[in-house]
Structure formats: structure tokens, C-alpha cells
Structure 1
Amino acid sequence: MPLRRSLLAVAALVGLAAPANAGPLSAFDILRQFNVVTTGDLTTNSDIEGRSVVGGDLTGGATFFNNPGAAAASGFRALTVYGSATAGNPLNVNSGGGVTIGGSAAGLVNTNGGGGRSIGGGPDAPAPNPLPDFTTSFVEPLTGLSAQLAALEANSLLPGAATPGFPNNVPVTASAGEGLAVFALTTAQLASFASFSVNLNGRDGAIFNVTGASYTGQANFLNATSLARDIIWNFTEATSLDFQRQWGGTVLAPLAVVGNATPIEGSLFAARYAGRGEMHSQPIRFDLPQDPGGDPGTPVPEPAGLALFGLGLASLRLLRRRG
């Protein structure tokens, strides 16, 4: 068999083996596709501008997916609730994003622009159909990422109280180098700032590994919006977070009840979300680390893709032997 025909045969074989939605979501997929993911309940009357997944019940009336921005395409609809929508207030899902609610909906659900809808299993099929297991699809990848990032060795230092002007306009500057900047700090250190800015200093992005049980954020993050897609705040221990000023960056808080009085510019993963301010879609735009001891700039390989690639190589070797 000529090599060209062999390659076409391998391509066809790989195409047949690949599912329509290739494999489970990686942590990177989730943070690029979704604005908010909660393992438990979500309560808000404010806009969530990107795509949302609620592992528990949804309470309150809000508008979803009205400004998804740079969010990646997804096999999920704009609003997915594994539990029920328990409040009688109207829910608005905009931009043709659609809605899937596994349980019941107590109030009116408006799907503006279409996008499909399924409440309690009908009338339309859920997207995706059926809904995948929530723990394996969302919780495990994101909690795994949080633990993975927490194991990274810090390569940048936080300014101390001796910094001129402290605690105002504190310059948080990454060390020079390639890849990601990694900071290690406590919630008490973060709370000591009245205002601060972040300087990536040429780095691809920054990881802030924050330890401590709680944080009430009254600091003014001066360049929160401009760096929102370049930062991950990893609150590994916190059980309570309340952002009272505008915040920028993706927030990983697997154990926490998270609230906000003003917008959070970025994605959120939390145990529960009790929002008083908006959530703005600002998906990360840098590669995630490969492993705790690896190069922080190396992206995670796609397991399903690697498996199919291996299948293709094996098939090609077989075809060559037969030829």
C-alpha cells in the first residue's frame, strides 16, 4: 500500500476513534470555557457574563452569558445547573447560550436568542446529553490543578512593610525570567495592602499561592482589569473569601464560600458563590504547568489526543509491514 494511502487510512481510523467531544475536560479547558464553577450552591442577583456550571442549586435572579468575551467554545450551554433553580425570580440567559437545569425551575427562565433549553430533562435534550458526572468532569480537574499549582516553588518575592509608601501603591513585581512567576503568600500579607499593582516583568503570567483560612479583600487592585487574564489566585486553604473591591485574575478556592461586592474580572472555582457583584468573563491566556517539578511554561498534554496519536502510529507500522 503506498504511503499516502496508508496515511489516509490512519487518519480515517483516528477520526472514527475520536468522540464528538474528545475526552473529559482538562483544567485548562474549564478555565477557558467557564466564568464560574461551583461544587455547591450559587446565589446571586448580579450578572455572570460568561458561561456557568452549578454543582448544587441556583438561587436568585440573574443574567447569564451577556458578555462572554474571549471565552472558548464549549459543548455545554451558557448555564448548566446540576441541581434546581429554587428562586421564583426570573433568570435571563442571553446571546443564544441556552440553559440546562437537571432538576426543576421555580421561576421564569428566559433564553434570549435561543441556544436550546432543558429543564428537568425536557423538552429538549441536555447539552451535552447526558450531563457527565460533575465530580470527574469539573471538581477533580480543578482541585487537582489547585494542588499542582500549590506545589510549585516560588520564584518571586512579595514586597515587605519596608517598601516606600507601604501599604499604598505596593508594587508586586515578578522576578526576571521566562515562563510563569510564582508567589507564595498568606491571606494576612494580602490583607495588609491598601492598594497594589502587579508587574509581570516580562513573564507569561503569575500564580499567587495564598495560604490562610479567610480573606476580606479591601485592597484596591490597581491594574485588575488589564492583568485579569494573566493571573491565577490559588487559595488552597481558605473557607471564606469576600472581595469588596474590584479583583482581577482567575480565583481557585476549592473549599471556600466566595462573595464579592464589586466585579471579579476572571474565572472562579469555589465550593459556593454568594455574589453581590458581577462576574466578568476573563479567561486565562497562558499555558498551565505540566507538573509540580516541570517547566512552569509547559502546557499539559491532551491524554485523549496522545492515545489516538499512538493508535495512529501503531496502525501505520502495521500497514507498512503488510505493504
Structure 2
Amino acid sequence: MKMLSRISGLVLCAYAASGFASVDNVGTYNLILKNDLSTSSDIEGRIMIGGDINMAGKSLDVGSRIPADPLVDAVTVVGDITANDVKTQTGNIIYGGSAGSTTLINNGTGSAFQLAQGLLQTRFDAIYQSVIDDSDYYQTLAANGTFNTSDMNKKLFESSSSDDLLVFNINGNDLQSGGLEFGFTPSVPMIINVSGSGTLNINAKAQGNFDKSTVSPLVLWNFYDYTGLNFNGDGWNGSVLAPYADITSYTGSLDGGIAALSYTGGVEVHNKLFTYEPPQDEQTPVSAPSAAVLLFGGVLLVMRKRRKHAAV
């Protein structure tokens, strides 16, 4: 599946006078949060935070698994940064509020600087709306796969479809215990829509062919109505789209991109990016890239061409 990669020259030129062409955060994100971030572990990819970084006395290491690219910001925070230090391996650190006594460190290319908070907020609001729009879109897709729960210790995602996108619809209760596995060899992007509401305690564990290096980048979990997600099992594989949920995780690791209200945790967030892009009308201009592009593996687009698949 080919990813479009046309970058808006207008966007880059808008900030040329400041000397920093990268302030529009063109690129991919491991973490997009509407509100706050608090963690005691590394985040391997880029982050965009609509609220604050609240990590008094702690250190944050970002971007250890992204390529050196001066057009991409490693850290963007609309609000304040409170931490002992925030360190990037490459890319800029941008903030709209106050950094206080936080030490901002760039080990590779890039700088740390403050921009107008209103400007960053406007950009973030457009991006987060795309997160909501994508979540709404995915939950309307017809399923072309099934979820077999006959064996509670080995729940299987199954599909014989030859489509270029697989869609599964499951209930959140199925993720409270047991093991998860695929009954086939995953080779195309997969959307797993998880129905339910309130707070979900996730104790299920990925098993067998749910491989972190090859399968996690193919999977997007769409928790479209939940307000809270607690990952209590042995980590989690696949990207998480949860626009109305506060997320916590203290065991294992999170292998994929995350879009949520907030994240509080003590585990590494690994840069296993989902690369599917929802179809759009060919001649419809967009003010922000889709959530899948921003979160999980694309670049800012002026237009997105429509791609049809049997699941739509």
C-alpha cells in the first residue's frame, strides 16, 4: 500500500521567517494526547501534547528510534513542561507555555524554543479533530473477519478475506482476560473496533504470531467510546486510537502509536507505527492530515487521493 508523501510548501514557508521550518511538526507521531503526559519511561518516537508534561523530578527521553530529520519536531507541547529534563536524540523541542527550570537537551540535530501558544493550540485542535474523525470512520466499516472466543485462553482473530484492509468488531469484555492470537499470517493493515464504554481494564495478552516487530505495525485498536483504558497485561501490541480515554500502563511495553486524552504510565512506548490512511475524496482539501498519517507513519498532505477497498 503506497503512502502519499506530498508536503505543503505553504506550511513550511509560513514559519521560514522564524528560522525553523519544522514547527508545523511535519511527520509521524508515537504519541498524541489532548491533555497531559506523565511517564517514567522512554518514548521512542515523536510526541505531540495538547496539555502539559507533568513529570516533576523525572526525566523524559524521546525519539531514540526516529531518523535524523530536521523537518520533524521530536517534542511539541502546547502547554507547560515540568520535569527534571526532557531529552531528544534528534529533532526540535517546541513548547507554548513555560519550561520553568526544566533542562531541555538536544543530543542530535535540533533546538529547543518557545512559540506562540495560540498558534500551537490551533494546529493541535485541527490534528486532534482528525483523530476523532478517523475513529468515527473506522467504526462504520463492515467487518470482514471474525473473533473466535470458544477457547478463552486462545482467542483467535480469523479471516479468509483477500481485501487490503481487514476489519474486526469485538467487545471490550473480551479483552479483560485470556490470550489473543491470529488464526492466519497477518500481512495487511487491520482495524479492530472495540465496543463498550466507561473504563476498561485490559488483562488479555498477545500470544503466538502476534509478533511485536512484524504484526504490531499492522494493527490499530479503535476504542471509540471508552473514557478510560488500563493496560494491566504483559504489555500491548498495536496502535491505540482512543480519542475520549485517559490511558494508564505500568506493565510490559506499549508497541504502537497512541492517540488519547492523556497518558500516565511507567513503561516504554515503542515506535511501531501503523501506516494505513483512510480514503478521502480526491479533490477535497484538508486542513490537517488524518490521524493514521500523523500518528502511525505518514507526512502532511495537501490532498489525499481516494483509495477504495472492499471493507468500505
- Tell me if both proteins adopt one fold, taking TM over 0.5 as the criterion: yes
Name the structure 2 match of 1:198: 182
Task: Name the aligned partner's letter for residue 42 of structure 2.
Answer: D
CA drift of 1:246 comes to: 1.2
Name the structure 2 match of 1:304: 302
Answer yes or no: is the 8 Å Cα contact 1:248–1:265 preserved in 2.
yes
Q: Say yes or no: does 1:232 pair with 2:220.
A: yes
Task: Name the aligned partner's letter for residue 128 of structure 2.
Answer: V
Matches within 5 A, 1:223-262: 223-226=210-213, 227-244=215-232, 245-261=234-250, 262=252
Name the structure 1 match of 2:137: 148
Answer yes or no: is the 8 Å Cα contact 2:35–2:51 preserved in 1.
yes
Q: Say yes or no: does 1:210 pair with 2:194.
A: yes
CA drift of 1:112 comes to: 3.1
Answer yes or no: is the 8 Å Cα contact 1:51–1:68 preserved in 2.
no
How far apart, in 2, do the equivalents of 1:84 and 1:230 lie? 34
Taking a change above 3 Å as real, the CA distance of residues 274 and 157 of structure 1, as seen in their structure-2 partners, is: same
Answer yes or no: is the 8 Å Cα contact 2:25–2:71 preserved in 1.
no
Identity rate, percent? 24
Task: Name the aligned partner's letter for residue 40 of structure 1.
Answer: N
How far apart, in 2, do the equivalents of 1:290 and 1:100 lie? 31
Q: Say yes or no: does 1:267 pair with 2:257.
A: yes
Q: Provide TM-score, normalisation by structure 1.
A: 0.72
Output one character per residue of 1:289-312: Cα deviation in whole Å (capped at 9) or x when no partner.
Answer: 3169xxxxxx99x872479xxxxx
CA drift of 1:97 comes to: 2.2
Taking a change above 3 Å as real, the CA distance of residues 147 and 156 of structure 1, as seen in their structure-2 partners, is: same
Matches within 5 A, 1:44-59: 44-59=39-54
Taking a change above 3 Å as real, the CA distance of residues 237 and 20 of structure 1, as seen in their structure-2 partners, is: closer
- Match of 1:99, SS state, is strand
Task: Name the aligned partner's letter for residue 105 of structure 2.
Answer: T
How far apart, in 2, do the equivalents of 1:73 and 1:253 lie? 28
CA drift of 1:64 comes to: 3.0
CA drift of 1:52 comes to: 0.5
How far apart, in 1, do the equivalents of 2:143 and 2:190 lie? 11
4+ long deviations beyond 6 Å: 29-32
Name the structure 2 match of 1:67: 64
Output one character per residue of 1:29-51: Cα deviation in whole Å (capped at 9) or x when no partner.
Answer: 99960010000111112111111
- Which of 32, 37, 42 is matched with 2:32 structurally? 37
Q: What is the number of residues matched between the two proteins? A: 266
Taking a change above 3 Å as real, the CA distance of residues 134 and 172 of structure 1, as seen in their structure-2 partners, is: same
Greater share of strand: 2
Greater share of helix: 1
Q: Say yes or no: does 1:115 pair with 2:110.
A: yes
- Match of 1:197, SS state, is strand
CA drift of 1:228 comes to: 1.1
CA drift of 1:160 comes to: 2.4
Output one character per residue of 1:54-86: Cα deviation in whole Å (capped at 9) or x when no partner.
Answer: 1011111333324224x7958442111100013
How far apart, in 1, do the equivalents of 2:269 and 2:49 lie? 14
Answer yes or no: is the 8 Å Cα contact 1:93–1:112 preserved in 2.
yes
Output one character per residue of 1:75-127: Cα deviation in whole Å (capped at 9) or x when no partner.
Answer: 442111100013xx322322132211111123332313251111466xxxx9x
Q: Provide TM-score, normalisation by structure 2.
A: 0.74
How far apart, in 2, do the equivalents of 1:98 and 1:207 lie? 32
Answer yes or no: is the 8 Å Cα contact 1:92–1:109 preserved in 2.
yes
Q: Which of these two proteins has the greater Rg computed from alpha carbons?
A: 1
Answer yes or no: is the 8 Å Cα contact 2:201–2:229 preserved in 1.
yes
Q: Say yes or no: does 1:171 pair with 2:156.
A: yes
- Match of 2:79, SS state, is coil
Task: Name the aligned partner's letter for residue 283 of structure 1.
Answer: L
- Match of 1:100, SS state, is strand
Root-mean-square deviation (CA, aligned residues, Å) is: 3.4
Q: Which runs of 5+ in 2 are unaligned?
A: 1-5, 15-23, 282-292, 306-312
Taking a change above 3 Å as real, the CA distance of residues 120 and 177 of structure 1, as seen in their structure-2 partners, is: closer
- Which of 113, 118, 133 is matched with 2:122 structurally? 133
Task: Name the aligned partner's letter for residue 197 of structure 1.
Answer: E
Of 45-54 and 199-208, more deviation after overlay is shown by 199-208
Answer yes or no: is the 8 Å Cα contact 2:134–2:278 preserved in 1.
no
How far apart, in 2, do the equivalents of 1:175 and 1:30 lie? 39
Taking a change above 3 Å as real, the CA distance of residues 234 and 34 of structure 1, as seen in their structure-2 partners, is: same
Answer yes or no: is the 8 Å Cα contact 1:175–1:201 preserved in 2.
no
